[in-house]
Amino acid sequence: MKERTADLQWGVDRLKAVMDKQPALIMSEQDEQEQKLHQDEQEQEPQQQQEKLELQKQSEESITVEQIEQPKDIAGSSSGESTNASYIDSAGTDSSDIYHVKWIRHAGKQHPVVTQNINGPCPLLAIANILLLRGTISLPSGCDYVASQDLMQRLGDALLDIVTRQQQSNAGNKDEQNNLEQLVGDSLSLFPRLQTGLDINIGFSGYSKFEYTPELDIFDRFNIELVHGWVLDPQQCDVAQFIEQLTYNQLVEKIITAKNGEDQELLAQAIAAEEFLNCSSNQLTVFGLWQLTESLKEGSLCVLFRNNHFSTLTKHQGQLYLLVTDQGYLHQPDVVWETLNNIDNDSTFMNADFRRVSGAGIKA
């Protein structure tokens, strides 16, 4: 990594302090064998060491660490030759924190995309995938796996690069530099929460309305727009006045208060508001979808928050598409995007050129 300014060294130290100190490396099979063998040599008695070395010579196929199976075919390999699978020391990284990498074509170049397992940390993956598609961060060419800790380290490096450039452009403004240092320190301290979930509370008055929490600063630091589609149509007069500019948490509290009160008019509005929540429980409204389609810039990449899930969203030729990161489609290189053009959870799979994938059908 390029040389950093002295006043940002604290940021590197802060990053190391808030992250797990176990090494998070993307290793080849040979590197993994050598590391494990070196550890065994230090821990075993000389006679045991000799027996292990003789055993390894008898079979070059054997490996000394738990091997993660390599996918049969990854789209977008850097060359026509088969790439080596990536391995991560099972003693240093929990298997649930290891993610498959799928290579796709985006904007004329090959980019890695981190796929999500059943309980994957979607805030981390959504942010990382946008930065990977932008080219802000990268992974080794042809790698098949990555650990969550490695992703966080790369995000930390990217954040420090961004702040370094901002400090250089504000070299004469000491207050602004101090503010940047505070912001990056706060963001780095929140990085571990990207693995478990963020405190997000949407506002019903617009696609970009959220209650402010420190977690939102992470998106701002990386210049990533966070959006949602659970927006109330202002023409719904029966509930618009009751909901106004409220967030979800505020609305729930207001409904409970009204239902426990004696004001009949307020009670009727609360019942209507509750019906709105029930009817839009998929957290996407027709008005919200329209607002997203009209407001997002062509070709932009942003994070969509919906049903406590964070997805990578883009706009292409006036239509909205979600990046397919489900690990179940890892070996389907043509499945790259899926449409977001209705509120019924019906979507069509598209390839890297945003053309319908033949035979993939419709996802419901």
| β-pair partners for 116 | 326
Mean pLDDT in the chain? 79
Lowest mean pLDDT among 94-98, 162-166, 207-211: 94-98
Helix or strand holding residue 319 (H, E):
strand 319-323
Rounded to whole angstroms, the Cα distance separating 83 from 70 reads: 10
Distance, in Å, from the CA atom of 283 to the CA atom of 278, rounded to the nearest integer, reads 10
pLDDT tens-digit map of 274-285: 999 999 999 999
Residue 241 is given by DSSP the state H
Quick check: is 237 catalytic? no
In the residue annotation, 309 being an active-site residue is answered as yes
Mean pLDDT of 311-340: 97
Q: 107 Cβ partners below 8 Å, 6+ apart?
A: 133
Calculate mean pLDDT across residues 299-316: 96
Using one digit for the tens of pLDDT, what is the confidence trace for 124-154?
999 999 999 999 999 999 999 999 889 999 9
Confirm if 140 and 112 have CB atoms less than 8 A apart: no
Note the pLDDT of residue 140.
Answer: 96
In terms of pLDDT, which residue wins out, 90 or 35?
35
Q: Is 357 left (phi over 0), alpha (psi -120 to 50) or beta?
A: beta
Give the Cα separation of 231 and 137 in Å (integer).
Answer: 33
User: pLDDT digit string (tens) for 69-81?
Assistant: 333 333 333 333 3
Query: Residues 301-321: what's their mean pLDDT?
Result: 96
Q: Say yes or no to pLDDT of 257 above 90.
A: yes
348 beta partners:
362
- Rounded-to-integer distance, Cα 345 and Cα 52, Å: 56
pLDDT at 103 over 60: yes
Angle CA 41–19–16, to nearest 5: 85
CA–CA–CA angle 213, 147, 190 (5° rounding): 15
User: How high is the pLDDT of residue 112?
Assistant: 98
Catalytic residue (choose from 100, 122, 143, 302): 122
Coil, strand, or helix at residue 59? coil
Question: Could you tell me the pLDDT band of residue 20, with boundaries at 50, 70 and 90?
Answer: very low
Confidence label for 197 from pLDDT (cuts 50, 70 and 90): confident
**What pLDDT, on the 0 to 100 scale, is given for residue 40?**
53
The model's confidence at residue 168, banded by pLDDT at 50, 70 and 90, is confident
- What does 281-311 look like in DSSP terms, one character per residue? TTSB-HHHHHHHHHHSPTT-EEEEEETTEEE
pLDDT band at 202 (very low <50, low <70, confident <90, very high): very high
Vertex 123: Cα angle to 119 and 124 (nearest 5): 90
- Round to whole Å and give the CA distance between 260 and 19: 46
